[in-house]
Amino acid sequence: MVQGTIAQSTAVRFADSEMKRAPQAWQLDHGKRLYFGYAQGVGTMAMLKVWRETGDRKYLDYVIEWADTLINDRGEIHLYKVETYNIDYINSGKVLFEVYRQTGNEKYRLAMDRLVDQMKVHPRTHEGAFWHKLIYPHQIWLDGLYMGAPFLAEYAVTFDRPELIDDVMNQFLICARHTYDETTGLYYHAWDESKRQQWANKETGQSPNFWGRSIGWWFMALVDALDYIPAAHPQRSELIRMIGGLAETLPRYQDVSGLWYQVLDQGDRAGNYLEASVSSMFMYSLAKATNKGYINEKFRAVAEKAYEGLMNRLITEHEDGTLSLTQCCSVGGLGGNPYRDGSFEYYISEKIRDNDAKATGPFIMGCLELKK
């Protein structure tokens, strides 16, 4: 059994390691310029959680400095282009709620309003689900649920916009309807309503594989959005049911090491590998879902096994005392140029690197959940 104090100590050490590697938060995820990137949003959210657990102001100041340099007094966000209708932009808005509460600076409220204004006119499928981006028409990606849904749910509660909650719930229900696979209990990375993409199944519109990180985004979206879904909401139980389904399913695909593979259901295929972001995301989601009472306490052991696997297999300690997280897939998507076809060969061909924020952020947050 993982001791909570040890897990929290690991989270703090890793957060300090990230801050040493990236003295400015825009440098997280190997950032090269000041940017309102979704990966920096994941990394800074983890820092806020470390601040809440430890009370050490340096983690909060690290995030506030990033937000302050990104957003001007009119609430305009550096390099943000609403006309791209890119749902990835929305994710970093989650960080602004705490920054706004702690600073009282109205520019952060204005920035959040801008993001909500985007979603008011963001293109949708015929059923009302958000397209992933304008350049990916008619497509729902699991990734996008994490980027948009928890932000809109928190905005709804914070600024008394209850109608947004129903929209958030519909995003999950529509996405699940078109990506869930009954045979495996897993979710396909994406769905193309038009069925015109090369990667789309011509009958179902689904992409061909179960990419670990995409299901990690989906799982985290479910447990995070539920923080803001009213207990009396008639469809709240549907989200809890989805969480329970994942909790029952994922141990079947967990390696003996405690980790999960880049392509979840094909661990025995040459080239597949145990990947850090999916393992960290599942650790976080299972631990949080257990803490919240959404799933049986027995599933904490699955999260603890993931922690042990990460520590034993993918965490490296350097001479200066910093920690690194290895075997992180740097990026994954569908379509574009060069074209990403969603094949097994595609997913295992993407670059692997250390300390990708899509892995390090969930790792830190997962350790903190195991401490609770």
DSSP 76: P
Whole-number Å distance between alpha carbons of 107 and 25: 19
DSSP 139: E
Q: Of the candidates 87, 131, 90, 132, which has an alpha carbon nearest to the alpha carbon of residue 111?
A: 90
Annotation says 143 is catalytic: yes
3-class secondary-structure state, position 132: coil
3-class secondary-structure state, position 133: strand
CB atoms within 10 A of CB 320: 7
Domain of 312 in residue numbering reads as: 4-371
Collect all residues with Cβ–Cβ distance below 8 Å to 55 and sequence separation of at least 6. none
DSSP 199: T
3-class secondary-structure state, position 187: strand
Helices then strands (H, E): number in the chain?
Answer: 13, 6
In a 10 Å sphere around its CB, with 0-12 CB exposed, 13-18 middle and 19+ buried, how is residue 67 labelled? buried
Q: Are 308 and 2 in contact (CB under 8 A)?
A: yes
What confidence score (pLDDT) does residue 251 get? 98
Helices (H), the chain: 4-21, 38-54, 57-70, 93-103, 106-121, 142-158, 163-179, 212-225, 236-249, 276-292, 300-309, 344-349, 357-371
In a 10 Å sphere around its CB, with 0-12 CB exposed, 13-18 middle and 19+ buried, how is residue 83 labelled? exposed
Instruction: Encode the chain (372 residues) as per-residue pLDDT tens digits.
Output: 677 788 999 999 999 999 999 999 999 999 999 999 999 999 999 999 999 999 999 999 999 999 999 999 999 999 999 999 999 999 999 999 999 999 999 999 999 999 999 999 999 999 999 999 999 999 999 999 999 999 999 999 999 999 999 999 999 999 999 999 999 999 999 999 999 999 999 999 999 999 999 999 999 999 999 999 999 999 999 999 999 999 999 999 999 999 999 999 999 999 999 999 999 999 999 999 999 999 999 999 999 999 999 999 999 999 999 999 999 999 999 999 999 999 999 999 999 999 999 999 999 999 999 998
Whole-number Å distance between alpha carbons of 224 and 235: 16
Q: Of the candidates 153, 64, 78, which has an alpha carbon nearest to the alpha carbon of residue 111?
A: 78
Whole-number Å distance between alpha carbons of 349 and 351: 6
Q: Are 48 and 4 in contact (CB under 8 A)?
A: no
Whole-number Å distance between alpha carbons of 175 and 337: 25
The CATH number linked to 114 is 1.50.10.10
Question: Domain total for the chain?
Answer: 1
Q: Which DSSP helix (H) or strand (E) runs through 328?
A: strand 328-329
- Give the tokens for residue 248: 């029952």
What confidence score (pLDDT) does residue 231 get? 96
What confidence score (pLDDT) does residue 311 get? 98
Residue 139, sorted as left (phi over 0), alpha (psi -120 to 50) or beta, turns out to be beta
What confidence score (pLDDT) does residue 5 get? 85
What confidence score (pLDDT) does residue 372 get? 87
Whole-number Å distance between alpha carbons of 239 and 285: 13
Query: Of 29, 113, 117, 143, which residue is the catalytic one?
Result: 143
Q: Are 363 and 280 in contact (CB under 8 A)?
A: yes
